[in-house]
């Protein structure tokens, strides 16, 4: 019998059976009435989850495709933009902007820092920018930024606000309209409980106007005006990822039926449980010990133990998939994701596998306490 596998990563994440079943149905034609109905319903549900009146478009792409579309559609080569980063995904904005020949002012904070709105204000006071590119949940470090404050600073200085909410949307509060976020980007394989392959992007009137100005960075496929025009006609510019959209419609229906607030509360308590378990073993956290960090929990590998070996042992010996550190954090941290289709027993399973793997690797940790601490923190 194949081994039972446990997926505990901050993307991809497990997919509920209801969604898997919807995606197992025969393919329907994307210009027919049945797909049109699901597509329109899915687009409306996306608006509810994004908390916006703006249109939300979808691309058959990973989350980065949505980010790419935000840079290429809003900007013309040579535009001055600000990227405010504190980790791997934040730095990706700067790489995309550089690829399109933009004039990038990069506020590059240390990996693990919480982006400081005062630094953004100081940069924008020196030099105005067409757009500011931000990251809500920095999945490489576990830090969740105060997007409301950062967006307010960007708005004050007349810049468009573009936010990577790829791992935060539907996991923790995101208020697209109330916080004045012009563009919000999400990917299907995080808290939306779907396989990888879909990007969704919400576009404010101001962002839309920017995308209609002449001289934008060339993009034929990731083209907002074409996608928005098609959406107005209840269809897509090209063949959409039919299966994934049918799955997304079901997943969003489940999320909305349960209620966003209930989902946020659950993620908050899963984060508490994960942190409590890691601390009870005597390990140190890398991600902040705060409720806001409810997407992914990062722990420091104990002295003398390679973080990659922790991940490898958990996967190979106990069939529990977590992830290690990226870039400069590789080998130094391990990360447990808890967004989407997770419950407390996923967390206790991951913690127990972590404990066993650490013992295998010779770490000096407190045994037999992580699971109880996690359960207590979850129900507290």
Ligand X SMILES: *Cc1c(COP(=O)(O)O)cnc(C)c1O
User: Would you tell me which residues interact with ligand X (CB under 6 A)?
Assistant: 11, 62-64, 89, 135, 137, 139, 164, 166-167, 187, 196
Task: Report in angstroms how near the CB of residue 124 gets to ligand X at its nearest.
Answer: 23
**139 or 297, CB closer to ligand X?**
139
Task: Report in angstroms how near the CB of residue 12 gets to ligand X at its nearest.
Answer: 9
Task: Report in angstroms how near the CB of residue 136 gets to ligand X at its nearest.
Answer: 7
**113 or 356, CB closer to ligand X?**
113
Task: Report in angstroms how near the CB of residue 209 gets to ligand X at its nearest.
Answer: 26
Task: Report in angstroms how near the CB of residue 187 gets to ligand X at its nearest.
Answer: 4
Task: Report in angstroms how near the CB of residue 239 gets to ligand X at its nearest.
Answer: 20
* Dist CA 236 CA 245 (whole Å): 12
**23 or 377, CB closer to ligand X?**
23
**170 or 358, CB closer to ligand X?**
170
DSSP 6-54: EE-SSSS----HHHHHHHTSPP--TTSHHHHHHHHHHHHHHHHHHT-SS
**137 or 348, CB closer to ligand X?**
137
Residue whose C-alpha is closest to residue 254's, from 33, 6, 21 = 21
Helices (H), 51-182: 63-74, 88-99, 117-126, 147-156
CA atoms within 13 Å, Cβ hemisphere of 157: 24
**186 or 375, CB closer to ligand X?**
186
Instruction: Give me 359's structure tokens.
Output: 């013992």
**11 or 299, CB closer to ligand X?**
11
CA atoms within 13 Å, Cβ hemisphere of 251: 28
Edge-to-edge strands of the sheet including 296-300?
Answer: 296-300, 333-337, 323-324
**200 or 358, CB closer to ligand X?**
200
CA distances from 347 to 168, 307, 337 (A): 19, 19, 9
Task: Report in angstroms how near the CB of residue 62 gets to ligand X at its nearest.
Answer: 3
**75 or 139, CB closer to ligand X?**
139
* Dist CA 140 CA 109 (whole Å): 13
Q: Which residue has the tokens 């982006």?
A: 115
Closest residue to ligand X, judged by C-beta, is: 63
Query: Is the link from the previous residue into 367 a cis peptide, with omega within 30 of 0?
Result: no
CB 310 within 8 A of CB 358: yes
Task: Report in angstroms how near the CB of residue 126 gets to ligand X at its nearest.
Answer: 27
Quote the distance between the C-alpha of residue 128 and its chain's center: 28
Task: Report in angstroms how near the CB of residue 335 gets to ligand X at its nearest.
Answer: 11
* Dist CA 178 CA 330 (whole Å): 37
Distance from the first to the final alpha carbon of the chain: 39
């Amino acid at each position: 019998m194949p081994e039972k596998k446990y997926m505990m990563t901050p993307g991809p994440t497990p997919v509920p059976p209801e969604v898997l079943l919807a995606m197992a149905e025969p393919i329907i034609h994307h210009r027919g009435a049945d797909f049109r109905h699901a597509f329109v319903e899915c687009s409306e549900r996306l608006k509810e989850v994004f908390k916006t009146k703006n249109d939300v478009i979808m691309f058959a792409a990973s989350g980065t495709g949505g980010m790419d579309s935000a840079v290429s559609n809003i900007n013309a080569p040579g535009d001055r933009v600000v990227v405010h980063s504190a980790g791997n995904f934040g730095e990706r904005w700067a790489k995309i902007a550089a690829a399109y020949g933009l004039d990038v002012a990069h506020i590059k904070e240390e990996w693990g820092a919480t982006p400081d709105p005062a630094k953004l204000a100081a940069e924008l006071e020196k030099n105005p920018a067409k757009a500011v590119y931000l990251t809500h949940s920095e999945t490489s470090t576990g830090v969740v930024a105060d997007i409301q404050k950062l967006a307010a600073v960007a708005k004050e200085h007349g810049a468009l606000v573009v936010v990577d909410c790829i791992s935060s949307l539907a996991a923790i509060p995101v208020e697209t309209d109330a916080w004045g976020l012009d563009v919000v980007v999400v990917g299907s394989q995080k808290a939306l409980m779907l396989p990888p392959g879909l990007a969704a992007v919400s576009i404010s009137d101001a962002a839309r106007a920017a995308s209609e100005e002449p001289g934008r960075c060339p993009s034929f496929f990731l083209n907002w005006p074409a996608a928005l025009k098609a959406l107005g006609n209840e269809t897509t510019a090209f063949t959409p990822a039919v299966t994934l959209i049918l799955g997304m419609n079901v997943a969003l229906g489940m999320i909305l039926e349960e209620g966003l607030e209930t989902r946020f509360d659950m993620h908050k308590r899963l984060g508490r449980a994960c942190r409590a378990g890691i601390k009870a073993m005597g390990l140190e956290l890398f991600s902040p010990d705060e409720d806001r960090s409810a997407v992914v929990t990062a722990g420091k590998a104990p002295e003398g133990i390679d973080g990659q070996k922790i991940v490898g042992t958990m996967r190979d010996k106990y069939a529990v998939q977590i992830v290690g550190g990226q870039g400069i954090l590789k080998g130094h941290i391990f990360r447990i994701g808890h967004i989407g289709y997770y419950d407390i027993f996923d967390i206790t399973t991951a913690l127990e596998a972590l404990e066993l793997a650490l013992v295998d690797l010779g770490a000096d940790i407190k045994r037999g306490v992580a699971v109880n601490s996690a359960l207590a923190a979850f129900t507290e």
